[in-house]
Amino acid sequence: MNPVIQQTTTEMLQQRGFEVEVTDEGLVGRKGRSSIIVFFNLSPKVNNDRIQEYITKMRNANFTHAIVVFNDSVTPMAQKVVDELEGLRIELFQMNSLRYNITKHRLVPKHIPLTKGEMKAFKEEFGTKIPILLHSDPIVRFYDFQRGDIIKVERKNGFICYRIVK
CA distances from 123 to 28, 58, 134, 160, 164 (A): 35, 37, 19, 17, 11
Q: Would you write out the chain's pLDDT as a tens digit for each of its 166 residues?
A: 789 999 999 999 999 999 999 888 789 999 999 999 999 998 889 999 999 999 999 999 999 999 999 999 999 999 999 999 999 999 999 999 999 999 999 999 999 999 999 999 999 998 888 999 999 999 999 999 999 999 999 999 999 999 999 9
**What is the value of pTM for the model shown?**
0.90
| Segments forming the whole domain that contains residue 19 | 3-97
Same domain, 10 and 92: yes
Same domain, 136 and 68: no
Same domain, 69 and 124: no
Are 159 and 119 spatial neighbours (Cβ–Cβ below 8 Å)? no
Same domain, 10 and 51: yes
Same domain, 87 and 110: no
| Residue type at 124 in one-letter notation | E
In this structure, what CATH number is given to the domain that contains residue 55? Answer: 3.40.1340.10
Q: Which of these three, 51, 75, 97, is where a domain ends? A: 97
